[in-house]
Structure 1
Amino acid sequence: MKILQTIILCGMLLVQLQTYAQTDTTSAHPTDSVAATAERTLTAADTTIRYRINGAYLGSIWSDLKYTVARPAHWKGKDYVRLGIVLGTAGGLMGLDYEIKQLFARNHTNFWTSTANQLEPFGNAYSPYLVGGMYLAGVIAKDRKLEHISLMTAKSLLISTLIYTFTKSVVRRGRPSYYNDPFVYNAPFSMDKFHTSFPSGHMLTVTSVATALAEAYGEDHPWVPWVTYSIAIATGTTRLYHERHWASDVWLGASLGYFVTKGIYKRHKALEKKKALKALQMY
């Protein structure tokens, strides 16, 4: 029942967001140039890409997966700076992983345990249900934007999960619930539950969804990123509290979900821009 209530409430909230969303795609002053006059005639169909579950959408998943995997080959200076920040922070956290584990272990209380139990499902059960609820709400309400956003979110989550699954099968790090040493590893592709700590799948899932919603609604509703990322941070904290992951696992899971999703949305915006420019050339 709690999951159903969550879906219904989130669906109502997202439909309400659509009510207040702007529908205009262009605006111009009467004294603008001839090119601007052509812009005013553009419709939403000319400037936006809206997905439905069909061959085009399924094809976009494969295209975005190839784009994401190949993207490091096209990185520039700022991309390497971001990578340095991510890896540098991960290295610092690895040096503190044991102390952070002990800090949480010393502060277990009934209140925090109850709170952590309520928040933890956002990293596995709640997030996929939320995406499914968004899709159903969009279809039922005939809201193409909401339907599209749910499919973009699902695609981002799928691609980040595929990359996470491969990474986890290669890097077999011991879980803190089984080891006190954060530097215990097993051979790549070894199939055992004791070495499945790196990176955090819960954190990747909730961060992917949080980033997708922030990208979709953050510009018109600045409070959305604050809410979604706060939930993501709280979910990651529960993984430390339950000793399911080291702090560095949580950080890298969040980083993977965030940057993969941001990249997918960036590519989508570039495709929309390309579509708009092509439409302008037809005038």
Structure 2
Amino acid sequence: MMNKRITGLLLLLLAGTGLYAQEDTTRARPDSLPVAIAADTIRPITAADTTILYRINGKYFKSIWDDTKYTVTRPLHWEKKNFVQAGAIVGLTGVLLASDYGIKQFFVHNQSTFWTSVTDQIEPFGNAYAPYIVAGMYVAGVVTHDRKLESGSLMAAKSLVISTAIYTVIKSVVRRGRPTYYDSPFNFAPPLSGDKQHTSFPSGHSNTVMTVATAIAELYGKDHPWVPWVAYGIAGLTGVTRMYENRHWSSDVLIGMSLGHFVTKSVFRHHRELEHKKAMQLMLR
């Protein structure tokens, strides 16, 4: 859409200058000739001119800090629809808080050897597999000289860094007891206490897998509509495994996934805003 607007503006400028180019040069004013010549040298701004691609360097590491500030302060710039979405998440979290004990009991009483073998294959997507997927994307991009893949993997990586830092801070403050150790979903320890039993909120696995899933959906969802379905499907199943294995309450999983999704969306939104700013600067030269 941005390219169409830019191209339209350039065509309008060319049409204006073209009026002088069509005049009889024997009658044209002397100062009109340079305008006609300049019009012939105008090159439309293309996507390649405005695209920002990352490599591992100082600029990339600075962008991590810039994106962190942008993400943390993003709620200050929310529109009405954003508050509605946040309200829906808060409301659903409240419902799950009231249902956490019942959901735990459902999974505990429906465990089986077969389902445990299935969840054992899915659960690593929220921990071991996710970093390897991002690293694999980066290596593939470098080896095949696919700059979009290389840069996209670095955007996924910094989304993962930011979301991990945020959920770690939340987990250290909200010391919620894990369902593995406590039957009550309302068992909390003082903030910053160091015991491992109170590290339930939010779910780190859910945050990690949703961060990577959202990044992949942002990168390839437009060209391949099936990608978001697969990515988000795996993320959702990973969250279910954390409840099945009695490692997290359902509300932990929801907030973990919401956090990963929000952070990654913010990183990619900021990226698009920077590309738009770059395009505007090129137009004003």
TM-score normalised by the chain length of structure 2: 0.86
CA drift of 1:39 comes to 9.2
User: Counterparts of 1:54 and 1:111 in 2: how far apart (Å)?
Assistant: 47
Code of the residue aligned with 2:12 in structure 1: it is S
Is the CA contact 2:7–2:44 (under 8 Å) kept in the aligned structure 1? no
CA drift of 1:42 comes to 1.9
Confirm or deny that 1:150 pairs with 2:153. Answer: yes
Equivalent residues in 2 for 1:220-259 (5 A)?
Answer: 220-259=223-262
User: Counterparts of 1:192 and 1:40 in 2: how far apart (Å)?
Assistant: 63
Is the CA contact 2:134–2:153 (under 8 Å) kept in the aligned structure 1? yes
Give secondary structure in 1 for the equivalent of 2:196.
coil
Give secondary structure in 2 for the equivalent of 1:180.
coil
- Stretch of structure 1 that moved more, 175-184 or 70-79: 70-79
Is the CA contact 2:55–2:150 (under 8 Å) kept in the aligned structure 1? yes
User: Counterparts of 2:92 and 2:161 in 1: how far apart (Å)?
Assistant: 26
- Stretch of structure 1 that moved more, 42-51 or 31-40: 31-40
Unmatched segments (≥5 aa) in structure 2:
16-38
Is the CA contact 1:39–1:280 (under 8 Å) kept in the aligned structure 2? no
CA drift of 1:40 comes to 6.3
> For residue 280 of structure 1, what is the aligned residue in structure 2?
283
2:273 to 252, 270, 280: 270
Is the CA contact 2:200–2:249 (under 8 Å) kept in the aligned structure 1? yes
Q: Which structure 1 residue ranges, 4+ long, deviate > 3 Å from structure 2?
A: 25-29, 34-40
Is the CA contact 2:207–2:260 (under 8 Å) kept in the aligned structure 1? yes
Per-residue Cα deviation, 1:208-250 (whole angstroms, up to 9, x for no partner): 0000111111111100000000000010000000000000000
Code of the residue aligned with 1:57 in structure 2: it is Y
Is the CA contact 1:123–1:235 (under 8 Å) kept in the aligned structure 2? yes
Unmatched segments (≥5 aa) in structure 1:
1-24
Give the root-mean-square deviation of aligned CA atoms: 2.0
Is the CA contact 1:169–1:189 (under 8 Å) kept in the aligned structure 2? yes
Give secondary structure in 1 for the equivalent of 2:197.
coil
Identity %: 58
- Stretch of structure 1 that moved more, 158-167 or 70-79: 70-79
Is the CA contact 2:97–2:185 (under 8 Å) kept in the aligned structure 1? yes
Confirm or deny that 1:100 pairs with 2:79. Answer: no
Larger radius of gyration: 2
Alignment coverage as a number of residue pairs: 257
Confirm or deny that 1:33 pairs with 2:12. Answer: yes
Code of the residue aligned with 1:270 in structure 2: it is E
